[in-house]
Amino acid sequence: MIVLNKKRYLFFDIDGTLAAGGYENFYIPGSTKLALEKLRKAGHFLCIATGRAQALAVDIMHDLGFENMVSDGGYGVTINNTLVGIKSLPKENVVALIRECEEKGFPWGIQIDNSNTRAVPDNRFDNAVHDEYMSQKIISNLDPANYKNIYKAYVACTPEEEQTLSSLKSLPHYRFHNNYIFIEPSYKAVGIKEVMDHFNADYSDAIVFGDSDNDISMFTDDWTKVAMGNAVPKLKELADFVTDDVDKNGIYNACEKLGLFTPIAF
């Protein structure tokens, strides 16, 4: 057992790490809530690190008692309940992707602000995916070139069709759902370092917890890495410690085995 009896900076992914059940049956296991309570009591710093947009994660942040968050795949940072800022995707790359989607007839949408709303040019995206993850707003003649900031994009296509999109090579993207892909930042380590720098904390004092492909970016050698039992194989390979599944007390068991419930020594 590794005993860590000084203040640690803990960064937790949400879906599949803090939360079980997926988007449709989302819930926080009781053991996870208890672990967070004991971590706070021990004196550690807690922060969310999610690919979700800040607006789609802020309620979860508050519900779980967090005050700090790395959102938008590392491009968004919230400190002490205040949004510091969100960087956008490279506009020219997104525009090129949307142009290619239009040529090939793939329905698409973009996120043009920090909200829970996806902008689309028509109903085709919704008809293709029947998605409840975000609300939708139809904007006639929607053109990504007309917007200064594009934070995320979404393309409805099959895995086979995805392979034909050459513009995707210049953009980070993930398939969390069978019928569409997310084009979103995947640089969680960038946001984590920004938070650590804000508090003048040593990177080696950070511990990250994750489960998915979009967590690979934060599994670096700068800090301790914990993979959930339900994590993708690549993440487990990079991890310093592999715990149990999210719905089998994974967070609680990891924190207990790492000695994180022991009050820190000042």
Cα separations in angstroms, 253 against 11, 15, 257: 16, 18, 6
Please compute the mean of the pLDDT values over residues 146-154 and round it to a whole number: 96
Is 105 found in the same domain as 169? yes
As a whole number of angstroms, the distance between CA 225 and CA 241 comes to 7
Domain count, the chain: 2
Q: What is the pLDDT of residues 237-256, one digit of tens each?
A: 999 999 999 999 999 999 99
pLDDT of residue 2: 47
Is residue 190 located within the same domain as residue 74?
A: yes
| Cα–Cα dist 215/212, whole Å | 5
Indicate whether 1 pLDDT > 70. no
pLDDT at 24: 79
pLDDT tens across 95-120, in order? Answer: 999 999 999 999 999 999 999 999 99
Residue type, 249: N
Q: In 3D, which of 154, 193, 148, 196 has the Cα closest to residue 171? A: 154
Number of H helices, E strands in the chain: 8, 14
- pLDDT for residue 177: 83
Domain assignment of residue 21, yes or no:
yes
In a shared domain, residues 33 and 95:
no
The CATH number of the domain holding residue 205 is 3.40.50.1000
Checking if the pLDDT of 3 tops 50, the result is no
| Residues 177, 241 within the same domain | no
* Cα end-to-end span (Å), the chain: 21
- Domain limits at 53? 9-86+186-257
CA 218 to chain centre: 10
Mean pLDDT of the chain: 94
Q: How confident is the model at residue 266 (pLDDT cuts 50, 70, 90)?
A: low
Q: Which residues contact 30 (CB under 8 A, 6 or more apart)?
A: none
Q: Give me the CATH number covering residue 148.
A: 3.30.1240.10
Structure tokens at 154: 């979404």
Burial class of residue 44 in the structure, from the number of CB atoms within 10 Å of its CB (0-12 exposed, 13-18 middle, 19+ buried): buried
* Helix 250-257 vs helix 30-42: crossing angle, to nearest 10: 30
What one-letter code names the amino acid at 27? Y
Residue 227 lies in a domain: yes
Q: Which one, of 260, 264, 263, lies nearest residue 252 by Cα?
A: 260
Domain closes at, from 159, 183, 207: 183
The alpha carbon of 139 is separated from its chain's Cα centroid by a whole number of angstroms, namely: 27
CA 102-104-109 angle, to 5 degrees, is: 40
Q: Are 129 and 156 in contact (CB under 8 A)?
A: yes
- Flag whether pLDDT at 5 surpasses 90: no
Q: How confident is the model at residue 131 (pLDDT cuts 50, 70, 90)?
A: confident
Same domain assignment for residues 192 and 67 = yes
Q: Burial level of 27, CB count in 10 A (0-12/13-18/19+)?
A: exposed
Domain stop point among 183, 213, 241: 183
Q: What is the pLDDT of residues 23-64, one digit of tens each?
A: 778 999 999 999 999 999 999 999 999 999 999 999 999 999
Among residues 183, 204, 237, the one where a domain terminates is 183
Residues in Cβ contact with 166 at an 8 Å cutoff, skipping those fewer than 6 apart: 100
